[in-house]
Amino acid sequence: MKRKTINTVLTHAILIITLVAVAFPMYYAFVMATHTHQDAYAFPPILRPGNQLWNNLKEAWVRVNMGRLLTNSSIIAVVVAFGKIVFSILAAFAFTHFKFRGNWFLFPLCMVTQMMPLPVRVIPLYRMMANWNWLNTYRALTIPYFASTTGIILFRQFYLTVPEELADAARVDGATPMKYLWHILLPLSWTNVAALLVIEFVYMWNEYLWPNIATTAADMRVAQIGLRMLYTSERGAAEWHIIMAGLLIIMLPPLIVLIIFRRQFAQGIAMQTTK
C-alpha cells in the first residue's frame, strides 16, 4: 500500500514537471510580449509578466496589417474545413451504403491523397494555377485541398458501425438515400464533424508552403506569412516583445477551436485508431 502511494506521488510529480516544461516556451513567449524593449533584455531575465501587453499587441497588429491576415486565414481555414467535411461525408456514405463498380479502385484512390502531400507536386501545381490565373485568389488556397483521406476514413469508420436496420427502415418508409443521409445519418455524425473541423481548421490555419508560393499580393497573405514578416523584420531590431505579441495573436484562433472541441477531437482520434 505504501509503495503504491509513492508511485502515485511520483507519477503526479513527473507529469506536473513535464507539463510545466512543455508550457514553458509558451509562457516565456507570453512574458516577452508583456514587457518593454528594455525589460525584455534585462539580465537576469524577468520571468513574471509586465504591463505592456496591450501596447505590444497594438503595435504588432499595425505593423503587419493583422486584420487582413487574420481575415484571410479565417476564410481559407473555414472554407477548407467545410469543403473537406462535405466531400468526405459524401464519399464515405457512398463507400459504406452502396455496392458499385469501381468501388475496389476508387477507395484506394482516395487513400492515395495521404501519400501525395502538396510538396511533392508543388511545382506543376504552381504552373497549373498560373495558367488558370488562380494565383492570388482564394480559389487557389482552398479548392486543391478539398479531398481528405482523414475525413473519409473518419466517417467511414463511423458509418460502418451504424446499424443496417436504420437504413432499411428509412428505405421502407420511402426515404431517398439523400434524405436518409441528411435527416438520420448527419445528426448522428456531429462528433466526427467537430473532430474533423478541428483537424482541418488547425491544419489550414498553420499551412505555409503553398500560401507562400500561391500568393504574392499583400492583401492575400495569410497569418503564418505575417508571423514570418514580423519575425524577419523585427529580429534584426531585436524587438522580441513585438514578435511575441504578434505570435500570441496568430496562434490564438486554432487554439480556441481546439479547446472548444477538445472532447470531440479526442473521440475522433480514438475512432481513427480502432480498426
Partner 1 sequence: MNRFPNHRFLPYGLVLPSVAVIFIFLIIPFGQAIYLSFHRVSPFGALRNVGWRNYVEMFASSEYLFSFRNTMIFSVLVIGVGLTIALCIALLTTQKIRGAAFYQIAFIWTYAMSPIIAGVMWSLIFDPSIGIMARLISSATGFSINYFTDPVAAFLLVTAASVWVMLGYNICFFVAGLQNVPHELKEAAWIDGATTWQTFWVVTFPMLSPTTAFLVFVNTVYAFFQSFGMIDVVTQGGPNRATEFLIYKIYRDGFGRMQEGQAAAQSVFLFVLIAVVGAVQIYTSTRKAVYHR
Q: Which of residues 55-94 bind partner 1 (CB under 8 A)?
A: 86-88, 90-91, 93-94
Q: Taking CB under 8 A as the rule, does residue 163 contact partner 1? A: no
Q: Which of these segments, 48-56, 59-67, 110-118, 186-194, binds partner 1 (CB under 8 A)?
A: 110-118
Q: Which is nearer to partner 1, 116 or 186 (CB)?
A: 116
The residue within the footprint of partner 1, chosen from 214, 240, 245, 264 (CB under 8 A), is: 240
Q: How far is the CB of 234 from partner 1 (least distance, A)?
A: 11
Nearest to 149 by CA among 115, 185, 193: 115
CA distance 241 to 231: 11
User: Nearest Cα to 234, choosing from 1, 37, 5?
Assistant: 37
Asked if 84 and 146 count as a contact pair (C-beta separation under 8 A), the reply is yes
- For the bound state, the minimum distance from the C-beta of residue 93 to partner 1, rounded and expressed in Å, comes to 6
Q: Which of 5, 38, 131, 274 is in the footprint of partner 1 by CB under 8 A? A: 274
| CB closer to partner 1, 11 vs 133 | 11
Placement of cell 492515395 in the chain = 112
Look at the block and give the residue holding cell 531575465: 45
Alpha helices (runs of H) in 113-145, residue ranges in sequence order? 122-131, 138-142
Residue 196 to residues 138, 151, 204, Cα–Cα distance (Å): 21, 6, 12
Amino acid of residue 113 = T
Could you say whether residue 143 binds partner 1 (CB under 8 A)? yes
Q: Is 110 an interacting residue with respect to partner 1 (CB under 8 A)?
A: yes
- What sign results for the dihedral spanned by CA atoms 50, 55, 61, 63? negative
Told to check if 20 binds partner 1 by CB under 8 A, we report no
Q: Does 113 bind partner 1 (CB under 8 A)?
A: yes
**Per CB under 8 A, does 25 bind partner 1?**
yes
Cell of 246: 504578434
Residue 123 vs 218, nearer CB to partner 1: 123
Q: What residues between 199 and 238 interact with partner 1 by CB under 8 A?
A: 202, 205-206, 208-209, 212-213, 224, 227-228, 231-232, 238
Contact 268, 154 (CB under 8 A): yes
Supply the minimum distance, in Å, between the C-beta of residue 30 and partner 1.
10
CB–CB of 205/77 below 8 Å?
Answer: yes
- Nearest CB to partner 1, comparing residues 50 and 144: 144
Binding flag, residue 18, partner 1 (CB under 8 A): yes
